[in-house]
Amino acid sequence: MSSSVSRPRRELPPALRRLLRLRLLLKRKKPDFVRIDQWRYKRIEDSGWRNQRTLDNKIRRKMKGWPKPVEAGYRKPAAVRGLHPSGYVEVVVHNPEELGRLDPKIHAVRIGGTVGVRKRLEIVKKARELGFYVLNPGKRVEELLKKELNTASSGR
């Protein structure tokens, strides 16, 4: 993101702000949940968590020295679950018309990955017009916006 665009923060009640900070602290303490033997075999290196089923499994039995299993106690506070760190609710947008159904005080816009540069530029222009925080405008879009701003200010 360009240095001229600041990262807005949503105005939150103190209780919600405290829960967001707590979520960050809990995330730091949460262990990496790994599949059994993922450190041993390259083929399952990045396959993610799989629940343990066998009787002798050390992770399932929560033995000392083995990775921690996934448990409900690692969840984050329900009020801030799914929120962006800035406090906004993230919404994926694929065209400029979808912005009409959103509230800039609550929602932050994330542009879909399949959206091309031309439509991405339209979405970013309309979003900034309406006062939305765009999470991923893209480097090319920022450059194009800067170029348009320079040509507009030079008299054309």
In tens, the pLDDT along 92-114 reads: 999 999 999 999 999 999 999 99
Entry pTM? 0.76
Please say whether the dihedral angle defined by the alpha carbons of residues 117, 82, 86 and 28, taken in this order, is positive or negative: negative
Mean pLDDT of 1-17: 74
Mark whether 18 and 67 lie in a shared domain: yes
- 124 falls in which pLDDT band (50, 70, 90)? very high
Among 58, 75, 92, give the residue marking a domain's end.
75
Among 35, 52, 75, give the residue marking a domain's end.
75
Domain contains 3: no
Domain contains 8: no
- When divided into structural domains, the chain yields a total of 2
| Structural domain range at position 140 | 84-153
76 Rama sector, left if φ>0, alpha if ψ -120 to 50, beta otherwise: beta
Domain contains 68: yes
Mark whether 90 and 68 lie in a shared domain: no
Domain contains 4: no
Among 75, 109, 125, give the residue marking a domain's end.
75
**What's the confidence (pLDDT) of residue 47?**
86
Mean pLDDT of 54-74: 94
Domain contains 30: yes
Domain contains 118: yes
Domain contains 5: no
